[in-house]
Structure 1
Amino acid sequence: MTQIKNPEDAPAAFQAAWNAHDMAALGALFDPQATFVNRFGHFVRGVEQIVALHAPIHQTIYRDSTLESELIDIDPVADGVAIIHFWSRLSAGAAHPAGAHVVDTLILAVLIRQNEAWRIRALENVTLTNPRTGEATLRD
């Protein structure tokens, strides 16, 4: 299971858990009281709820998906607290009702240090869209 040893490790750890479709590994990245907002605006609190939100889609429409993450920025705001932003490219496979396609999102996460590891305390995922049409767009 991938741990977050430094804030800059969070995107790769999230990517690894997603690509393995390992919900225990995904849950381990989060603080027990973490909040999560998915790209559709669904808000949940707590590791159990975060895992419950992701487990069904990893068994069905995203079972053959992969994620690529790229760190954009780290902002250490206090000792043991950091805000990060990272790009996320979801490649959905044939299991998705819309077929294989790609979606780009921007993720903002607040991380807190607990002992020697960092945990995600809050994460929000925003789909890139054309503001005039609402159509999903891909970044360059």
Structure 2
Amino acid sequence: MTQLHITQPQEVPAAFEAAWNDHDMASFGALFHDDATFVNRFGHYVRGVEDIVGLHAPIHASIYSDSRLQNDLIDVNILSNDAAIVHFWSRLTAGEAHPAGPHAVDTLILAVLTKDGDAWQIKALENVTLTNPRTGESVLRGQEDDPGAVS
């Protein structure tokens, strides 16, 4: 598996984006600790880097083969010398390979990182689709006054 060397927690969104956009599942898997957990935007939970890659490899070979991500760091919360929480926006742009055709989806990602030696990796990640709480419809950031507001 590809070895990444992330020296600062704020590097994770860009590394995640690069691995996704290259459709490089070895680099994608290298972002995670061996026993990491991942919850995708549909609420599917997996544990272990093998299962995380196993969840993503088939979609990168099919419906997301021409997809692109754009990640934007929101914040980094350093908990200790070897633990941090990172929040970032992620816009997935699906292409012609997706059954629904080209479209975009915004999600908010929360990643818990831990440091092993001088490198940071993801210990847990949860991805939540941005939706209008009144209708349940997916929305894109900036297209509604406050799509995250609870009614």
TM-score by length of 1: 0.98
**TM-superposed deviation, 1:5:** 1.5
Q: CA RMSD in A?
A: 0.8
SS state at 1:138 partner: coil
* Structure number, greater radius of gyration: 2
Out of 32, 36, 39, which is 1:37 matched to?
39
User: Which residue of structure 2 lines up, in the alignment, with residue 52 of structure 1?
Assistant: 54
Deviation at 1:136, TM superposition (A): 0.2
**Structure 2 equivalent of residue 126 of structure 1:** 128
- Aligned mates of 2:80, 2:44 — CA distance in 1: 28
The CA deviation string for residues 94-135 of structure 1, in whole angstroms up to 9 with x for no partner, is 000000000000000000011121000000000000111110
TM-score, normalised by the number of residues in structure 2: 0.91
Equivalent-residue separation in structure 1 for 2:59 and 2:104 (angstroms) = 16
- CA deviation digits over 1:17-53, x for unaligned, max 9? 0000000000000001100000000000000000000
- Alpha-carbon distance in 2 for matches of 1:7, 1:95: 32
Q: Secondary structure at the match of 2:99?
A: coil
Runs (5+) with no aligned partner, structure 1? none
Spell out structure 1 runs of 4+ moving beyond 4 A: none
Counterpart CA distance in 2 for 1:138 and 1:3 is: 32
Q: What's the CA shift for 1:3?
A: 3.1
Equivalent of 1:3 in 2, 5, 10: 5
* 1:84 aligned onto 2:74: no
The residue number in structure 1 matching 2:149 is: none
- Which residue number corresponds to residue 104 of structure 2? 102
User: How many angstroms apart in 1 are the aligned matches of 2:5 and 2:98?
Assistant: 29
Identical aligned pairs, as a percentage?
66
Which residue pairs with 2:73 in the alignment? 71
Contact 1:37/1:43, CA 8 A, preserved across alignment: yes
